[in-house]
Structure 1
């Protein structure tokens, strides 16, 4: 078993074996972020769904009110006037077949792929490369669209994608340790509210089985999502 570092052990001492309110958890996780870099705060949520059934898969996208603290590089597949629109909206890379060739050659220096519907035939050639990386444009996520300005602005503003893994878990960033507690809390609450809204009708029993937030190098803090304040019920 790997030996735990001193900073991790010190942080672990701050965390009690209990469920914290969302506000308490956010305050505590900031205290456990003691690394020399600005740690990402991540939420890990185990949902009471069975993703092997299509009608119980939870997937979508949302815009965090205060972003993630990371600026994403956006690649847009477009042609004609849409090239100018994408560039004006702040896309990092815009083009067509030339990027297919680059990606097939191993280039992957971008975080999100957006495409207009008429370019999906071109993008489809990259399915085996982009698909496993979660980079394939998807109309359900707003990344296959004619409104490139809206899509790019949302991504740059802090749009994140969420998707259950095979075990029904969702892992997403909700900000940085340098964020003040109020901003982290609002981001976190928007995530929780969104997941509740998209609960599959076929999901039975407890939906949010466990909710945990943690800093990159810190221990997990278990959360009672129904308690939003630090005050006792």
Structure 2
């Protein structure tokens, strides 16, 4: 592409005024600048169109390998005929001869006289032990014997209130002299005195009661008196 000159026809200097001369000069400068810019744009357009050139693609066929012939079949193996095994005949074993049976005569039965063994002597009669009582033996209060007597302690409140009386306590004592049951038989009328009497007799210990040399359990009514005099 060639630049186009936009130059107006020359005018006579005498025919133009000063403003027109300046305008003509500016127009000439602009025309030359446009031509130079057009030359520069031609190189840029050529450089931009160069990468966009068409690319030719050619398909190359891949060679297909020729098929290989199949392997030859294996030769058949010869059949082996089994050999016949000879059968040996076994001679029968001789049967043992039976010895002739001998009959032994049985001895004649003899009369056996039965003898009667002597009878053992009768054991001596043992004395029967004395029968034990089914229930504890009842003792009187005067028969009581202490190894640890009951500790009677007067309650302070009872002393301050002037409480007095006799407590009757029912006892059940085993063969070793240990109380197994302690219960109130008759109250003194004051609960503090009754409770102190029960505690005292629970801690008491008694001499074992024996009969015919044998210790027995017993029961009794033990009185405990509380008096301020």
Identify the structure with bigger relative contact order (alpha carbons < 8 Å, sequence gap 6+). Answer: 1
Query: Which structure has greater helix proportion?
Result: 1
Greater gyration radius? 2
Coarse TM-score class (shorter-chain normalised): under 0.3
What TM-score, normalized to structure 2?
A: 0.17
What TM-score, normalized to structure 1?
A: 0.16
